[in-house]
Structure 1
Amino acid sequence: MEGCSIESINLNGNKLQGNLPKSLINCVRLKDLDVGNNRLQDKFPFWMEALPMLRVLVLKSNKFDGNLSMPSRSNFPFPKLQVLDISRNAFVGSLPQRYFKNFKAMMDDKANQRERYNDGDLNFLYYVEMTITLKGQDQLLKRLLEAFTILDLSSNRFSGSIPDCIGNLYSLRYLNLSHNNLMGHIPASLGNISVLESLDLSSNKLDGGIPRELTRLTFLEKLNLSMNNLVGQIPQSNQFSTFDNDSYMGNLRLCGIPLTRKCNKENGHQMQPEEDDEENEEYGFIDGFGWRSVVMGYGSGIIVGIGIGCWIIRFGRPRWLVEFFFGVGYTYKKNKKKKKKTRKRATPTQRSL
């Protein structure tokens, strides 16, 4: 691909296999690469960090793996990247802090726009059309690229904590780190991303409280913190008063509106669980006996009960239990009926005798 002048490549939704061709490094004018929803099996393309014009990189729903925290030769990786979607792959290790510290286009989109105008780059994808995951559902978005920034690392195997430096991505609009193995506290620095519209940290192992700094996110429309180990009272100012129960499900030590668990007035961290807790009904009882166990217990009890009933009716045993249910003398009456039937069936010889 020597002398490559390609600016946009979209191969999303095919059945491509193998590796990404490294010859793409020669496409120095490449701005958009989308190979999502294929069967590509490769390591993360660190060699693409040096592409000076790349703005959109989508590798979602493939078989990419490896550790993104590995050191690279580039001091300023992906200098103009605005969209990075590597969700639904098999990446491991900690989150790539060096990327969070160098994604300049996600730090200052206004400066990024000025650079585009200065470079005469006015014709590239005024609108970008992408399918992104919001609260577990895929949604098609069509947005102006100049103001569109997204970081989606969901459904991988990332571990460790969420670094504070992620709060330096001041121009980030969509952040999805869900369905990983992330631990530790939610960084308060996320409250610095004032234009954030969607935040999904669900299905991890995050603990601690929800930072009050997140209430500064006045543009936040979608929030999902469900299925973690968060504790304490849910903040109730600004946008947080608009989120429903689904945003917090599966955090058994969270309390306050919109959950049914009330917080302890003294410290706001301990809760008083209610008997009719809706969350327990959906995710299982606190003591470990979920609805599946209850159904299995009832089913087994019904089968055993029917069997015992048939035995009692047929053989009249045990006598005390029969008399308890059917009245005193039931066993005697039943035995008398049996004797009458036996006499009727007697042979003529037996009758003469």
Structure 2
Amino acid sequence: MPHSVCKSTLEVLDLSYNNFSGPITSCLLSMVGLRMLNLRENHFEGTLSSSITSECTFQTIDLHGNKIDGQLPRALSNCNKLVVLDIGNNLIVDAFPSWLGELSNLRVLILRSNQFYGSINDVDGNRQSREYFSSSQIVDLATNNFSGSLSSELFGRLKSMMAKFNSTGETLYPQNSSYYAEFYKGFIEMAYKGSFVTFERILTTLTSIDFSNNRLEGTIPESIGQLVSLHVLNLSHNAFTGKIPAQLGGMADLESLDLSCNKLSGKIPQEFADLTFLGTLNLSNNQLEGNIPQSRQFLTFENNSFEGNLGLCGPPLSKPCPISPAPPSVANVEKSSHVDVFLFLFVGLGFGIGFTAAILMRRGRINDWFVISSRAFQDLI
């Protein structure tokens, strides 16, 4: 790429799906006026320049599918208008860029298939009083080396996914760029309903969280249930333990849920039967047990949604659930209680008679006692 491109007054630079190679021209990321940079699926390599100034005008940066290495330049935090950042499928080695959470316009963050590591919580400190990924609608961190547990605060601050969206949706394109909406295509590749799908248009209603294929552990935070507008949730191929939060059953717009290949235990929450839009469910290869919820929606799922859980039973699995014994009837309970009372009285009476007889025998008065007792018993009859 020639350096002369930096002297232009371009607002959109799209060189995607070509055979460009070599380092990305350093001046490119410091161009003032450039809104959209799309270098997707080329052979660019090397590190990204940190010469991004406070005059940054980028709204879309798409570097997906190259050979970029090193760390993510912290100077990207100067791009306050950034809406889409896709650096997926590169060779970047870095900690989770929690500092990007301060970009209030950032809606799409794709870091998948790199070598990011460590915690994905707020590693830079407490940002309770500041914005933190508040506008995010697509967060894809799949296939990295992230580890540790997920804090409940992480999901409790994704405000955009807590709002109820209009079901029609609009095409997402950079802010104040309606002039480019006719030709701009924001290609996004993501796991969707069990398949890897390429979206040529990003709708404002498309919401997704994908943390799959990492080394995350601990329990799944109940706070995920607050994300009522979330459509896709993928936490598969990690090491999560504990029970599946029942709060996930309140995410009424959920279309795809994948919790497979973890160490989850306990029962499948009955609340999942209320997820009427759920088209794809994968709970396989965990340690779940008990009855599979029976509802019209669950009847659409096949065996592979539940296989690898030895304790699960009921349709669609061939393993039947054990029949619980019927509780005893009231009459049987009353009859049993009467028998117990009489048995107790007779045992007590026998013990008393035996004890008295032993004392009298020792004093040589056993014969007199038997005579008296026999007369008393006849009078009683």
The TM-score, its normalising length taken from structure 2, stands at 0.65
Superimposed CA distance per residue, residues 16-60 of structure 1 (whole angstroms, 9 cap, x where no aligned partner) = 110001111111101000000111000000111111110000000
Distance 1:171 1:123 in 2: 29
Q: Secondary structure at the match of 2:165?
A: helix
Change (3 A) 1:143 1:190: farther
- Which amino acid in structure 2 is aligned with residue 175 of structure 1? L
Residues 222-280 of structure 1: CA deviation (Å, up to 9, x unaligned): 1000000000111120311100001011001111111111111218xxxxxxxxxxxxx
Question: Within 2, Cα distance between the matches of 1:154 and 1:240?
Answer: 23
41-50 vs 126-135, which deviates more? 126-135
Asked if residue 23 in structure 1 is aligned to residue 75 in structure 2, the reply is: yes
Q: Does 1:68 align with 2:120?
A: yes
Distance 1:240 1:123, change over 3 A: farther
Kindly provide the amino acid, as one letter, of the partner of residue 62 in structure 1: N
Q: Provide the identity percentage.
A: 45
- After TM superposition, the structure 1 stretch with the greater mean CA deviation from structure 2, 64-73 or 190-199, is 64-73
Q: Secondary structure at the match of 1:91?
A: strand
Q: 2:103 aligned with 1:45, yes or no? A: no
In structure 1, the partner of 2:137 is: 82
SS, match of residue 194 in structure 1: coil
Counterpart residue type for residue 27 of structure 1: C
Alignment partners' CA distance in 2, 1:80 and 1:193: 18
The structure whose Rg is larger is 2
Match of 2:190 in 1: 132
Is the 1:154–1:177 contact (alpha carbons within 8 Å) kept by the matching residues of 2? Answer: yes
**1:72, CA displacement in angstroms?**
2.5
Q: Which residue of 2 aligns with 1:321?
A: none
1:210 aligned onto 2:268: yes
Q: Does the CA-based 8 Å contact 1:216-1:238 persist in structure 2?
A: no
Matched, 1:250 2:308: yes
- The equivalent residue for 1:11 is 63
Tell me the CA shift for residue 133 of structure 1. 2.5
| Corresponding residue of 2:363 | none
Superposition RMSD in Å: 2.5
1:109–1:135 CA distance, 2 compared to 1 (3 A): closer
Runs of 4+ in 1 over 6 A off after TM superposition: 123-127
Query: What is the match of residue 334 of structure 1?
Result: none
In the alignment, which residue of structure 1 is the partner of 2:26? none
Amino acid at match of 1:190: L
Q: Aligned-pair distance for 1:110?
A: 3.1
More helix as a share of residues: 1
> Aligned partners of 1:202, 1:137: CA distance in 2, in Å?
14
The answer to whether 1:95 aligns with 2:150 is yes
Aligned to 1:179, which of 237, 245, 256?
237
Q: 1:57 and 2:92 equivalent?
A: no
Match runs of 1:1-353 below 5 Å: 1-2=52-53, 3-69=55-121, 70=123, 72-75=125-128, 76-110=131-165, 128-134=186-192, 137-142=195-200, 144-266=202-324
Distance 1:80 1:123 in 2: 23
User: Which blocks of at least 5 consecutive residues in structure 1 are unaligned?
Assistant: 268-353
Deviation at 1:67, TM superposition (A): 1.1
TM-score by length of 1: 0.70
Deviation at 1:139, TM superposition (A): 2.8
